[in-house]
Each structure stands twice: as C-alpha cells, then as structure tokens.
Structure 1
C-alpha cells in the first residue's frame, strides 16, 4: 500500500552540469523505482529537472545517491531543491524534454568507447559484432553530432536514422544500457561504412570496406578515415617510405606525427607510460599523450614519424571504427589530422574528395554526418598532472565555471581569442563555454571555420553577447572579426589574458603575480612582448618586470629563423663590434646575409624590439647550433629543452641580472651570454649549456617573485609547455615559500586566451598600467 497523499513529500530538484547524454535520466528513473518514489524527470536547457514524491526518508536517500553515485560520465555542478505540494502520481516516468528557457546545460564532449560496448563489438554472438557505430549512454558521439539543445535524438545528426524494432525496444527499456541513448543504432538501421577511391567510386561497403582499408594501409597506402570529428590521414607508422610520402604530400617537413596504437600493451613497448598517463590514455577523453620514447621505438618506427624527437604523441582507439581498424592491423599507425597545412579538418566525405585530393589514396567514409569538426586533444604531464596543450575532443565544450565571489558583469560575453591556436569562449554569468581548438587563422579557410564556430556556439546556447572581447593586437584576424560585429568591443593585452586564464581556471582572486612567457604578443609600448611579469591587484595591473629588449632583424622572419634572433641578441649585447660573431655557428649566415641583416639592425629598419623569452630560447638554440631555421613553430625551443633534459651534471644556473629601470625590473641577459661564451670556449657540451640556461630562467622567476613579494604566482604562456622549465620553476618557487599555479584545464599557450579575455573583462582589468596611463585610474580598454 502506498502512503496516503497527505503524508507524502514532493521535491523539485534541478541538476546543473554535464548531465545530458550520459544516461542521467535513465539513472534517475531506475533509482526512483528502486526506492518506490513517483514523479518525473526531463531534460531542459539548464540541465535536468526532477520532481520526486514519497516519504521524507526515501527522498533523502534519493538525493544522497544522486550526488554520490551519478553515472560515470556525469559531472554535477550543483543541485537545487525546492518543496512542492504532493500530487499523488501513480508512477515515475521520463517526461518529454523542455526546450524553452535560458541555456545553461553542460553539453558533453564525445566519449571513447566504453568497456561494455567494446566487449560486444568483438563478441561473434552479439548482434552488433564488428559494428563500427556501437554506443550506449556511457560512450559515443555527443558534441560532434548535436545540432541544437536539449540533447535528444531529433536534435542530432542521427535523426535521419530511424531505429529498428530491436533498437527502439532497447531505447525504451529503463533496464537497458541503451535506455534513451540518443545515437543508438545497429547494422540494420544505423550508419554504415564505404571505401572510396580518389574519384568517389565505391570499392567496398560495411565490414569489407574496413578490411580493404586495413589492407591498403598494410600495403603502404595513405587512407583518409572519417572518424568522430573529422578525417584522419592514416599510414603504417613502421613504413618509412609511406610516412615520408605523407610528409611530402601534406607539406609537413618535420613536425611530429600523432600515432594511434592498438592497445596499451603495444604503447608500453615503444614508450614509457606512468600509471597516471595510462589512466589518461584509457579515459573517456582518450587524448593524445606525449610520452618519452623507449630505445625499441627507434628500431620499430619509421624515423620520419618524429625526427629528432625523444617523445611520441600517442593515442589509443577511441571509436569502434578505430578499434576494429587497429585490431585488424595489429601495429601502430600515423593518425594525423585530415587537412592541408593551415586549413581546418575535413568533416564531409564529398568535401574530403576535393580538399584531400592528392593527399589520400583511398577514403574510408561513413554516412553519419558530423555537425562540427573537433580535432584530437593533446596532453603532456607536468608536475605529475595532465596539462592540456590542445583542448578539443574529449574536453570541449565543457565549460569553466567561475567562482561565486568573482564579478559577473557584463553577463554575456563573446571572447574571440588570438590569432594562433585560436579558440573562442562564450560566457553567461559564471559559466564560460570553451570551444574546441580551431587553429591558426592564417588562411581564408581557417578564418571561415573560426567564424562558423562563433556562430555555432551562439546558436547552440542561444546567446547574444552584450560585449565582445578580443586581443589588443590590431592586426589579428580575430580582432578584425570582433570589430565587424554590432557590439561594443574591448581589447585585452595578450599576456595579461594568459595570466587571467590561469587565474580563472583555479578561481584565484587578486593579488597575483603572473609570469607570461611566450613567443609573441602585442605590447602597448610598441614592442613585441613575451617575457612579462604582471602584478594584478583588485585595482590595477602593473608590469613589474620584463626581459631586456633586443631586436629581431627581418621581423616575422626571425620567428621562422632562430639564427636571426641570435644575431639580434648578440648585436644588442655588443653593438657593431665584430668580435661577438665568433659565437655564431659558421654556417649561420653567408657574408652577404650577415651584412644585410646588420644594416637592418644598425638603421632600425624592419627590426622590431622584443622582450620575448620565446625568442631568447630560439637565439640560444641557434647559438648552440641546434636549429638555425625552424621547420615548424617552436622547433628550436623544443630541441633546446630536449638537449637540457640530457644533462646530468650541469653546475650553477646561468645568471640574469635584475636591474631597475623606470620603476620596473629588467631581466638582463648580458651575464648569461658572458657565461655561455665562457662555457663554449671551454668546450662544454650543448646539453650542459642548455640545462644551465633553463635553470637560470627558473631561478630568475624566483628572484623576481622575492623582489615583488606576492605569495601567489601564476605561470602562463607557451614557454610553460616546456616541462623542464615548468617543473624546475615550480620546485624552486615552492622551496622559497611561494604558492605557484600552472594550467591544467586550458592550454598555457594561446588556446587559453579566450578564457583569460573573459576573466579580464569581468574584473575590468584589461590593460597593464604604462607610463602613459599609470597616473589615471585603470580602465577596461577602449570600446570600438
């Protein structure tokens, strides 16, 4: 007998967070029935709403289990509870979704294949045996198939596949793992594979298509494979000829390729994998993880996979299609983004025939449309924790939730990020939704993709921003776009956005001392910044320290050619005196080249001044002969880090003098160069010199922090993708009594700028105080 209505209680629970597409409603349904409660549960634009009715003691148990034992992929941010009058419902149901109201739901990323689906995939007795699109409420596509909220099948690209009787029965059965699994399908009613040649002619379909694609890869061909968020270009990672052909066709001279391995055991044969790294590789996010190579990898893998690199970027299969393909092959493959250089990834098979023409020999495609592209995420472990270097599949579009004690106005903000490694953000009060990695905005195709992501985010969350925030660089493509919108525009200085991003991620309030070290950023004083120390208080931002400037002959060309940065550094050190040139490798310049570049330096023409630590890394790498011309962004700095890691005995750090100039600390590299010159004359190996350089930079951070006297220290910017520099700095800061923070949820590089732009605007601190504006109260930047 049910308890009489007047002795019952009824609660309305609203659950916020990542609670759609994770089996949350089925979980609630089963829990309510188990406890003998009545009512309903439904999706809505802000999350999940539950009305549950029953005795008080059972309602309390219901809420406790809701909070303590939600579905594995769910991330509950908050549960609010209000009392309602009892209604005497007869049972508990899943009600139709409610689509009206403010959109606050956390849309879930795509999830790697779960163990249950994987077991069924390789079970010959299962009806989904070898079906490449198997999924359930615990795994499968989410972000890349949803077209609008709330997350229901009619709102996804699966709407064109009508479920068969058996799939529908699973979908309707509250005791089935596929109860309300929106992408549910099987070989009878769901998407299927096809193998195309370069003209789009169908060579094979379904399982035969997969087997023939595997044979093609085994034979050394390049196959474009349509996955979750776009195409991969795949090739046998053991076949040097095939890998070199891929490099040649893609125009990717030396940048390391990502690899996909059949299993964790296979990974361990070629890379050192810690327990934490293994957990990340096998997590639902399943990112690429940078791992130290074993000696066996050099024999087993093609040299062109990662030339001169002691690390491998490795991921495991994360879709049923990838599991089947890698199981068929039994060896690692290159799995690089299906695009041409500087272009977004292909998502449509017909588009791929055009854009990947000449790159791929065959196309393994399927007919499930991709709503939006999403590249693979990249993680590197630092200080024992995962740090995202590229935030995309498996993480986007999960938001960062700002602390309750932070300002929340302007309420709705669009942040358009920077120019390189672009991401965008959309903020509504305390929730900041972060887009997937978009990339460099160098080409028309990349800029079109950027604009589509902005429109897509606003459509998905139904948000019209009150204000648009951008980088202070006037020539960035993202800045130009922001200024074309019919909204107030506020610029944020590049390095300040880096620091604010880390503060937002950790919920830090001022005062904070931030070290923003990277390659390039627009400085309000006209210099190219990149070695900045910014003290953020509740009232103002002060640039308290920076690297001593030097010139970059040829401007942007110096980014591609570290030898130019080296020449500019030496010229700033000793002027036109020819004696300094003995530090340059003999092959660095021809006499004519050197004479012309020195003329640029002497005349100050096309030779901008910079305070960039990134360019200092380049210069030192060039002086040591590690890399005179970069074949990809950051190559020289990476090689300097790798060399430093090899040093076992290195002596004292190279000194950087702290000098006072116009009320700021200047990090003078002259003593460093003097020490380096002495060590080169002594014949010390490059590894030792590189390590002393790294140790010197870390010690300098501690010295500046002591001089400034702020206990909370933030490290941000692309230079802190360098594990040796970051970990050494953290160790020294902690030993000195400081509380340091690094990035984890968003990249330390430019992929984190959009979050920092939102945070800076919310606090009204978007530009550092300079001699020109230090006397007046700080403002949030000019509005265009």
Structure 2
C-alpha cells in the first residue's frame, strides 16, 4: 500500500442514474488522480475511491457541487475503508438481483448541445429525430426496470453501431453511458403513415408539415404517448379537431418554436421564460396578447394561452418545417387516457387523425404534458406529469411501512411511499372508465416494481363509489386507511412544504365526501398529518339533481338564490329567464331534499355566481364556469362584498351575503367584471375573518391553502395577502397540484403518520 493513501466507500442516493452521474464521478476521480470504481445498483450509485486525504475531501465536495444538470442528490454517505494501493479508476458493471431503491429521472427536454448538433449539417446526427445525451432525452417513459442500464429500457432492441459504442464507452464524451444513445445508423426510425397504417413516401417530417399546412389533423408519437396536432392559426382545422375529439370548449396547448415566437403570442416574464425553456418543458399558461395570431377556437373565451416549446427532436424538426405555431393535444377521445402503444393508437385515433408521424422506439409508461400557471413566487402546478414525475417528494418523517395511496377520482394520481420518499404518479386522468382504471392498475404495478415497494398500508378516500376506493378495498395483505378528502388536501399541502402541523387548513374545492356522510367543499379545518377537526365551512345549500348541478351551473344559481332570499329571490334576473322552463322544478327539487344533498362547496358557489353573471349556464368541462368568473374579473377592482360569520358550532361563512351583494349589483347595472372582482375579494375577506376567529380559539397562526379553488390566482393572491397582512404564515402548494392531483400524496402521508403514531 502506498504511504499516505486513504480509501472511502461512498453511497449516493437520489436521481443519479441515467443523468450522467457515473461519467461525472469518473471524470472527477481522474482529475484528482484517484483510484477505484463507480457503479449503479438498485440503491443508486456506489463508489470506492482511493487517494490522498485532501483529494478525497475535495472529491466528496465536488461530487455534489458539480453534479450533472439532471441529477438530484438526496443523500450521500462516505465510510473509511482500508486502502488497497490499486491504480486507475473504472466504471463497474451493475450487479443483478439487488432490491431496487434508486430513483428514476423524469424525461428531459432536448438540451442546447444536442439542438446545436441537430441543426449542424456537419454533424453525423444532423436532423436525427432521436438525438439525446446524458443531459436530455427519454428517461421515465422508457425505463422498464432498475438499475437504469440499456437492457432495462425500451432501447434494448437497438444494437449500437461502432461509432455510438465508441462514444458510449469514452469517459470524455458527453454520451458516455447515455442509455438511449443512437444515431441514424442504429437508432429508431421515423415514418409517416396514413390513417389505415400504410407508410407514405417522402421525408416524414416535411410531409407531416405539409399535412398541417393543408389543414389536416396529424397524430404525433412523443415521449409519453401520442398527440394530435393542427396548425394553431387555422380556424377550420382547429374546429375539425374539436369535432373529432369531442372536446367542444376546453383550451388546447400550442407549441411555438422558440421564446421569440412565444413573446409574439403571450406576455412573458423571467419566470415564464425559465419554465418554457427549462428541461421540464411544461405547458405554461400565459396572458394572451391582443391580436395573437392563433385561431379563436384554440382557447375560446380565455385570456391565457397554454404555450410549450418543442421538447423532443421530432417536435423541433416539425416546428422548423411547419414554420408556425401548432396545436398539440393529448391523443385520445375526451375522458380516455392518452394512447401510447402503436397498435392501440392506430385503432383509437384512426378516426381522428389524417396521418400518423410514428417511430419504432416503444413507450413503456404513458405520460401527459405537465401544466404550470406562473404566479410571481406562487406558481401553481395544475397537472404534474412529464418532466416532473416520478421525482419524489421528500417527507419530514419516514414512513414505518410501505404505503400505497389510491387517490381520488378526478385528476387522478396515485402515490407510493418508502421511508422519506413519496412517489406521486404522473397524471392518470379521471377514473370514470375501464381504460383509465386499467392505466391506474398498470401504473401501480410498475411503481411497485421500479421502486421496490410492497405496500403494507393502503390509503383511500371515504367515497364508497370511487373506483380508487373499490380498488383499495379489494387489496389483500395490507391494512386499509380511510382518509377524508379535505384532510388529504391539507395534508398534501403540509407534505409539499415538509411540515407536520397543526395548522388552520382552508380546503376549498368542488365536492368531497365528508365524515358525516354529507358533501363538503368549503372547509376550515384544524389539522395535522394524523387527524383533523372540522371547525368551519361555507353555509351549505342543496345540490339540485346531484351531478347534474355540476354540469349545469344554473342549477346552483337557482339553489343559492333560493337559499339567500329565503325562497323568494328577485323575479327579474336574466339567469332565471334564460332557464325559465325548468327553474320552478329545480327550485322545488332543491327544497325537497330528494336528489339534492346539502353541499358546502366553494366550487359550486363560484359556479352559481358565474351563472348569475351570464358567464355560463352549462359546463363542457370541470371548472369551466369558475374559470370564466376568474378571467372576467377586473384586476383593478379591490373592493370586497361584506359577508358575515354565522354563530354555531362551526365558523360558518354566510355565502348568502355574497350572493345578495352580487344580485344587488347586477340589478344596479354594475359590470360583470367589477362584480366578479368584488365577489373574489369578498369571499377572501370572509375566509380570512374565519381564520382570525380560529386563531383566537386555537392559538394557531399558520394557514395551509389547498383544493382546486386555489388554482384561481386571483382568489389565492387575495386570500394569502389578507392572511399575511394579519400576521399569519401561509403555506401554499409548490411542487404538487392543489387540485385532486395532490390527494394521493395527502392520503399517503396521513396513513404513514397514523401508522407511526400507533407505534409510539
């Protein structure tokens, strides 16, 4: 053994496979003249390094500080071991059979280096639709198993050519151990098919762009599934897509080639630009410029456009060939999961698309595009999927046993937990049909295998008719934990902020099953991760017709007006005249209590006000009326309608005060924009008053805000500002959606916390 040498064994855990971490370790060790090896296994990256104590100390520092862009180190441990006196540093093979405990990187948008090569005529990957390196490209959607090596991905069937193999084995190359490495000689191939599946002649990209220019609908195979594309400025093509997809009004996302093009359509700040151009590359909801050159049918009636930059080489090539913005929306019919298998896509999308731009690299895991609403420090994750999943949420306390949380019904996700790591799935969809349910079941099995999890606790919602609840109840070999919907919302916000509580929780959403067998949705809770107490609510009103009232907001207007005016609302309101034929029947239904359950729903209150203002009597998609109400509000109006707190066992916000104030201004001819703003601020002021009353009773001064209503930036800012001005600390969601996409995380941490408490 050489004098003065020391040796350490290092274990690195986190997102450290498939992101160039072993090449990083190898290059760093060679620069510091260390001996030893680095390798992947089921737990992450293992290292043995030998050299001077000073060089080993520098090695550990630089290991973390200079990590590759896509790496996320959660823990690093180093243990001294005897020196061996060996020479050289190598990359070891991955051992087989170890229990998986590593993390898998989300898919990453094409990096700047690869883009430069893609459009460089002198580069051997010029215009190669599958160019990637250790800093970008497919990850989660192509991984079948861990350790993350090529044989465990859908690239296993593509044998590397000599030149790619040389790059793959060269520690100095950017593609050193890049598992999806390929080139035009050895990689996947791109084809353009007609709807029947026959290959079409010509260059696939140029011909596909020609289809878009001619107003056709194009199916495009992406990272996590198929999309449908049309020219974004072509009103007829957009209308055709809506008709075929059965998506009458919900906005479409638009791909723009670069930030300059994005600036031409929307107002961008530095936060928005960073989101658009970053490696996650989500859809970003941005203020639309007047006269933006897109068809009105792309986002009818909306002030915002959902913009996205190309995030795969195929999308970049198509954007350049088409030379304009194009719609890119999930390849499915409404309410179905996105198609991701080639044969299934041709079957399901054959009646929707005129051509298919396909390739032969299989997609193992489907994944929709993520959606972000920037918010000047309070950005909202509306949908968490590609680019974000399956990166874990790190918890404040370890779970004693493995947990599976089955999530809610709408905007469904599931969550699995091992120790301090909570893996929230990609967006699955609404669990209302066989196809989406099967996607959920397949996803659970994949996560269990990928992360080495055998659930001993299975958490679920209280609602007995949710398919996710039924799945949980059919699970064998695990203890079941029922978690109330709004408690899960607040627990999700706590976990998102690595907090334990207790806090005052404001859970405002559409509907959730209460622990008293009634419908909740406008709740003030005192909650921690273990339990909660319902301490306040919005005053409840009937839900006439049950789910019909969700699809027809005018029914909620009728119920709220009847309640606010004690059965004698004004006769001259236009919402009444527009729905005169059924108004009396719906009002009678609300009063009867038959098929009209009481609901304290904030979401349905927003619906009612929107309908009273003439912003929508029916809803083509969930939350449409409430969105219209927010977008109609005058941002310069800050006056608030007064709303009292009713006496009783619960702090009850009198929604009737707000409805009467709205009606008075409607009858006085005040503009809907002013009324909407005053309503938002009035509800925020009353909610803040309720929190002040609860602080006096409990001594708590932290408020957690969660639920789908907190996707409303106007209401979120109005309430958070009022709370902070009155001395509260306010917790909002940062990484997980406030809507039902975050329910599974809340269920999981409640189940784990109760399990830990039972063991004390």
TM-score (norm 1): 0.94
Which of 302, 318, 339 lines up with 1:309 in the alignment? Answer: 302
Q: Give the 3 Å change call, closer, same or farther, for CA 414–194 of structure 1 in structure 2.
A: same
Which of 65, 74, 91 lines up with 1:77 in the alignment? Answer: 74
Which of 156, 171, 185 lines up with 2:182 in the alignment? Answer: 185
Which of 17, 21, 28 lines up with 2:14 in the alignment? Answer: 17
Which of 65, 77, 100 lines up with 1:103 in the alignment? Answer: 100
CA-CA distance at 1:586 after TM superposition: 4.3
Q: What does residue 771 of structure 1 align with? A: none
CA-CA distance at 1:426 after TM superposition: 0.7
CA distance in 2, matches of 1:393, 1:539: 31
Q: What does residue 503 of structure 2 align with? A: 512
CA-CA distance at 1:407 after TM superposition: 5.3
Superposed CA deviations along residues 537-587 of structure 1, whole A, max 9, x for unmatched, are: 57741111101000111110000010001111112223433x434335244
- Find out whether 1:116 has 2:113 as its counterpart: yes
Q: What does residue 545 of structure 2 align with? A: 554
CA distance in 2, matches of 1:553, 1:669: 17
Q: What does residue 276 of structure 1 align with? A: 271
CA distance in 1, matches of 2:529, 2:312: 47
The aligned runs of 1:152-551 (5 Å cut-off) are 152-204=149-201, 208-297=203-292, 300-403=293-396, 406=397, 408-409=399-400, 411-486=401-476, 487-537=478-528, 540-551=531-542
CA distance in 1, matches of 2:196, 2:657: 62
Q: What does residue 694 of structure 1 align with? A: 680
CA distance in 1, matches of 2:530, 2:619: 41
8 Å Cα contact 2:103/2:451 also seen in 1:
no
Q: Give the 3 Å change call, closer, same or farther, for CA 540–751 of structure 1 in structure 2.
A: closer
Secondary structure of 1:157's match? coil
CA distance in 1, matches of 2:146, 2:22: 16
CA distance in 1, matches of 2:287, 2:484: 36
Structure 1, 211-220 or 677-686: larger mean CA deviation? 677-686
CA distance in 1, matches of 2:515, 2:422: 27
Secondary structure of 1:40's match? strand
Secondary structure of 1:160's match? coil
Q: Give the 3 Å change call, closer, same or farther, for CA 101–526 of structure 1 in structure 2.
A: same
CA distance in 2, matches of 1:615, 1:75: 41
8 Å Cα contact 1:712/1:739 also seen in 2:
yes
CA distance in 2, matches of 1:432, 1:89: 40
- Find out whether 1:659 has 2:646 as its counterpart: yes
Give RMSD over aligned pairs.
1.6
Secondary structure of 2:522's match? strand
CA distance in 2, matches of 1:137, 1:11: 26
Superposed CA deviations along residues 298-334 of structure 1, whole A, max 9, x for unmatched, are: xx21110000000000100000110001011110000
CA distance in 1, matches of 2:484, 2:758: 12
Secondary structure of 1:585's match? helix
Q: Give the 3 Å change call, closer, same or farther, for CA 537–312 of structure 1 in structure 2.
A: closer
CA distance in 1, matches of 2:626, 2:208: 38
Q: Give the 3 Å change call, closer, same or farther, for CA 683–765 of structure 1 in structure 2.
A: farther
Structure 1, 718-727 or 97-106: larger mean CA deviation? 97-106
CA-CA distance at 1:764 after TM superposition: 2.0
Which of 593, 601, 624 lines up with 2:613 in the alignment? Answer: 624
Superposed CA deviations along residues 10-30 of structure 1, whole A, max 9, x for unmatched, are: 011111111111100001001
- Find out whether 1:718 has 2:708 as its counterpart: yes
CA distance in 1, matches of 2:186, 2:662: 68
Q: What does residue 62 of structure 2 align with? A: 65
CA distance in 2, matches of 1:349, 1:9: 54
Q: What does residue 774 of structure 1 align with? A: none
Q: Give the 3 Å change call, closer, same or farther, for CA 17–779 of structure 1 in structure 2.
A: closer
Secondary structure of 1:52's match? strand
Secondary structure of 1:429's match? strand
How many residue pairs end up in the alignment?
A: 754
8 Å Cα contact 2:563/2:656 also seen in 1:
no
Q: What does residue 704 of structure 1 align with? A: 690
8 Å Cα contact 1:9/1:56 also seen in 2:
yes
Which of 87, 91, 95 lines up with 2:88 in the alignment? Answer: 91
CA distance in 2, matches of 1:738, 1:727: 14
CA distance in 1, matches of 2:182, 2:570: 69
CA distance in 2, matches of 1:779, 1:492: 16
CA distance in 2, matches of 1:189, 1:339: 31
8 Å Cα contact 1:712/1:738 also seen in 2:
yes
Superposed CA deviations along residues 484-511 of structure 1, whole A, max 9, x for unmatched, are: 1102221100010000001001111222
Q: What does residue 136 of structure 1 align with? A: 133
8 Å Cα contact 1:382/1:727 also seen in 2:
no
8 Å Cα contact 2:529/2:749 also seen in 1:
no
CA-CA distance at 1:384 after TM superposition: 2.7
- Find out whether 1:648 has 2:641 as its counterpart: no
Superposed CA deviations along residues 405-444 of structure 1, whole A, max 9, x for unmatched, are: x3522x2000110001000111011111111100101111
8 Å Cα contact 1:6/1:86 also seen in 2:
no
Secondary structure of 2:208's match? helix
Q: Give the 3 Å change call, closer, same or farther, for CA 540–230 of structure 1 in structure 2.
A: closer
CA distance in 2, matches of 1:654, 1:527: 28
8 Å Cα contact 1:383/1:727 also seen in 2:
no
- Find out whether 1:41 has 2:38 as its counterpart: yes
Structure 1, 188-197 or 441-450: larger mean CA deviation? 441-450
8 Å Cα contact 1:25/1:41 also seen in 2:
yes
8 Å Cα contact 2:653/2:687 also seen in 1:
no
8 Å Cα contact 2:286/2:306 also seen in 1:
yes
Q: Which runs of 5+ in 2 are unaligned?
A: none
8 Å Cα contact 1:653/1:695 also seen in 2:
yes
CA distance in 2, matches of 1:377, 1:647: 27
Q: What does residue 604 of structure 1 align with? A: 593
CA distance in 2, matches of 1:765, 1:637: 38
Q: Give the 3 Å change call, closer, same or farther, for CA 675–765 of structure 1 in structure 2.
A: farther
8 Å Cα contact 2:497/2:734 also seen in 1:
no
CA distance in 1, matches of 2:314, 2:417: 35
CA-CA distance at 1:706 after TM superposition: 1.1
CA distance in 2, matches of 1:239, 1:453: 37
